[in-house]
């Protein structure tokens, strides 16, 4: 039985203690849950009678979109990169985004920030907390709570090896003979790493890499330290917490150690604490796993505010390189509308690769292999994960999205830019909050040199721009970087004005064949409808307006071109990868 009680007769301290009792129910000896609850409230500076925030309230609208970026993605001589990033956002995004996700900006030892050395510091190569706060003052700031693991070079792990605090008992260990065959792995490196501690050899649990050692939340001191970090981030302007790799948090040998009940309860506990501390704060779970498992992190509206829509990137990419939307449409029809107070976080590119686990059960094995083969021809790499039988299986495709969409399964063609903008027009029309990778706004290509420098396939999509070179490219009217940037800003600007693009507005999938992908959005007040239809093929396609049942008494117009439609039986020719947003209220807000 899971908790997550919404009983308003309970005090906040009682609710927190209830979460803790469930989390530690099988831990011996377990903590004094009421006392631990009081400690956590003290860390968060909350009183037991702090009023509960309203539930099932949407803290977002169609004006919300986030840009995702490393703190050091744009460099200028003599200026901290975080300051350069803010100047770029202010000048080149022109109010088109409401928030920014700055990927781990803490000191780290590996994995481009996800092996954290010190959670409470800003990497001095990027800037300082004043730079972070300056961004948070103007944009909704999303930051990573790297909760599953930390660096093997950090103070906590050094103290663990020397049996000192803080760090004593902070990390998961297991005997080499332990049956761990059922554990789900996202990597091919060994799960256990032998280290020498003052009391002898220990085998520590490393889900992701030998330098990223998993924290042991069975120890309540670990939970208390993580809550202390959450409070510090709130104090420094963080509004949105990305719970990194949260699905792997709790370990029980003999199980998959993935999505365990205790993990879900930790999310519910963090939701309770964060929402009481800042009612407009949000939790987003990063769970690169099959679709139904991913959706479970909504809970009953009491876990994540948003879940990453991980199945969208591989399905949309597959659609655009095959010219067939069948799989994407089937998935869309199976997706439940999030209840109020929750939303999908839509993205099609990120600092990581295009995950293939979220496509399991959605794309056939033949489709997956064809997609992988096409991406390899376009300069991409493939990362693998280890299965229980010792075999390896493709885990993600590593490629810059602009290069991933340079052609179809037939090879490269002349439709790169239209295809790329089509992908984003589809994403921006879908129910949910859009997250746009900075490099998608800039049409950044594969960075093969960076892969050679780092030895990591993911570096292909983590280019660092020189600001002067970037500004020159954006100013050139013939540059693909400038064309894409202007096209993306136009899509974002139009989206912001449409009530039917509210993240929770009604959505229905349309059935227009395999080459036309379409869906209908309707605003909460039912005044505005938008029919979002994209030609996902390299050939012109005919759209019969009779197939989408436009109401005769309304005047309909394409938001993207301004073209009016005079008759509900009109036929419209869509060029390769053209999108239309057909609405009855083009200026509805």
22 sits in which H/E element: helix 12-23
pLDDT class for 4, splitting at 50, 70, 90?
Answer: very low
**Nearest by Cα to 413 from 479, 490, 320:** 320
* Token pair 């209830």 in the structure block, residue: 18
Q: What is the pLDDT of residues 396-444, one digit of tens each?
A: 999 999 999 999 999 999 999 999 999 999 999 999 999 999 999 999 9
% of residues, the chain, pLDDT over 90: 93
Distances (CA, A) of 12 to 25, 148, 221, 308: 20, 26, 20, 29
Q: Please give the positions annotated as active site.
A: 244
Per CATH, the homologous superfamily of domain 506-583 is Golgi alpha-mannosidase II (2.60.40.1180)
Return the residue matching tokens 């099988």. 26
pLDDT (tens digit per residue) in 222-234: 999 999 999 999 9
- Find the radius of gyration of the CA atoms of the chain: 24
In this prediction, residue 549 has a pLDDT band, given cuts at 50, 70 and 90, of: confident
- Binding-site residue numbers for substrate are 111, 149, 242-244, 351-352, 458
Q: Is the dihedral of CA 446, 452, 457, 462 positive or negative?
A: negative
pTM comes to 0.96
Question: Burial code of 199-225, b = ≥16 C-beta within 10 A, e = fewer?
Answer: eeebbbbbbbbbbbbbbbbbbbbbbbb
Q: What is the pLDDT of residues 194-215, one digit of tens each?
A: 999 999 999 999 999 999 999 9
Alpha-carbon distances, residue 11 vs 1, 17, 255, 518 (angstroms):
21, 10, 35, 48
Per CATH, the number for 60-84+99-308 is 3.20.20.80
Return the domain boundaries, the chain: 60-84+99-308, 506-583
Residue 1 has pLDDT above 50, yes or no: no
Q: Give Cα separations from 128 to 66, 143, 342 (angstroms).
A: 22, 14, 32
pLDDT for residue 6 is more than 80: no
DSSP letters spanning 515-572: SEEEEEEE-TTS--EEEEEEE-SSS-EEEEGGGGT--TTS-EEETTT--EE--TT-EE
Alpha helices in 363-478 (DSSP H): 365-377, 401-404, 416-429, 438-441, 448-454, 467-475
pLDDT value at residue 569 = 85
Res 5: pLDDT: 44
Burial string for 363-401 (b: 16+ CB within 10 Å, else e) reads beeebbebbeebbeebbbbbbebbeeeeeeeebbbbbbb
Exposure string of 473-486, with b = 16+ CB inside 10 Å and e = fewer, is bbeeeeebbbbbbe
pLDDT digits (tens, 9 = 90+) for 337-376: 999 999 999 999 999 999 999 999 999 999 999 999 999 9
Give binding residues as ranges.
111, 149, 242-244, 351-352, 458
């Amino acid at each position: 039985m899971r908790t997550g009680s919404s009983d308003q007769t309970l005090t906040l301290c009682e609710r927190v203690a209830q979460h803790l009792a469930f989390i530690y129910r099988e831990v011996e000896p377990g903590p004094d849950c009421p006392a631990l609850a009081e400690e956590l409230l003290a860390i968060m500076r909350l009183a037991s009678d702090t009023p509960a925030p309203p539930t099932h309230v949407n803290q977002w609208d169609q004006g919300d979109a986030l840009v995702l970026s490393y703190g050091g993605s744009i460099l200028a001589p003599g200026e901290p990169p975080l300051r350069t990033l803010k100047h770029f956002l202010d000048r080149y995004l022109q109010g088109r985004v409401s928030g920014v996700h700055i990927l781990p900006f803490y000191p780290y030892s590996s994995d481009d920030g996800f092996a954290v050395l010190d959670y409470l510091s800003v990497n001095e190569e990027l800037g300082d907390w004043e730079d972070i706060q300056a961004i948070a003052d103007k944009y909704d700031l999303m930051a990573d709570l790297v909760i599953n693991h930390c660096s093997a070079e950090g103070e906590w792990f050094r103290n663990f090896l020397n049996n000192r605090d803080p760090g004593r008992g902070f990390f998961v260990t297991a005997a080499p003979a332990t049956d761990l065959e059922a554990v789900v792995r996202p990597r091919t490196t060994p799960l256990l790493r032998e280290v020498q501690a003052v009391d002898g050899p220990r085998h520590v649990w490393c889900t992701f890499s030998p330098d990223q050692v998993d924290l042991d939340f069975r120890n309540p001191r670990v939970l208390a330290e993580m809550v202390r970090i959450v409070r510090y981030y709130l104090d420094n302007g963080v509004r949105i917490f990305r719970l990194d790799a949260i699905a792997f948090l709790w370990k029980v040998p003999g199980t998959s150690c993935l999505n365990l009940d205790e993990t879900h309860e930790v999310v519910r506990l963090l939701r309770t604490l964060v929402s009481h501390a800042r009612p407009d704060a949000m939790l987003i779970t990063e769970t690169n796993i099959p679709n139904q498992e991913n959706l479970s992190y909504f809970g009953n509206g009491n876990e994540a505010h948003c879940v990453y829509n991980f199945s969208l990137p591989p399905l949309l990419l597959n659609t655009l390189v095959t010219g067939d939307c069948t799989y994407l449409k089937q998935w869309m029809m199976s997706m439940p509308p999030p209840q109020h107070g929750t939303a999908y976080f839509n993205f099609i590119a990120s600092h990581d690769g295009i995950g293939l686990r979220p496509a399991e059960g959605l794309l056939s094995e033949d489709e997956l292999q064809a997609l992988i083969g096409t991406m390899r021809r376009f300069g991409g790499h493939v990362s693998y994960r280890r299965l229980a039988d010792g075999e390896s299986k493709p885990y993600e495709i590593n490629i810059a999205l602009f290069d991933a969409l340079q052609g179809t399964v037939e090879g490269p063609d002349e439709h790169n830019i239209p295809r790329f903008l089509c992908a984003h027009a589809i994403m921006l029309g879908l129910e949910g909050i859009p997250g746009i990778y900075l490099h998608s706004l800039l049409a950044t290509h594969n960075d093969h040199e960076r892969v050679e420098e780092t030895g990591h396939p993911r570096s292909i999509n983590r280019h660092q721009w020189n600001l002067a070179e970037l500004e020159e490219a954006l100013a050139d009217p013939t540059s693909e970087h400038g064309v894409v940037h202007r096209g993306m800003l136009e899509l974002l600007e139009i989206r912001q004005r449409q009530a039917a693009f509210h993240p929770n507005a009604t959505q229905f999938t349309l059935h227009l064949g395999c080459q036309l992908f379409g869906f209908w959005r309707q605003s909460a007040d039912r005044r505005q409808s938008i029919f979002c239809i994209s030609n996902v093929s390299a050939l012109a396609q005919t759209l019969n307006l009779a197939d989408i049942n436009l109401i005769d008494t309304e005047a309909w117009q394409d938001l993207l071109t301004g073209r009016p439609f005079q008759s509900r039986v009109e036929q419209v020719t869509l060029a390769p990868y053209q999108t239309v947003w057909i609405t009855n209220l083009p200026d509805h807000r």
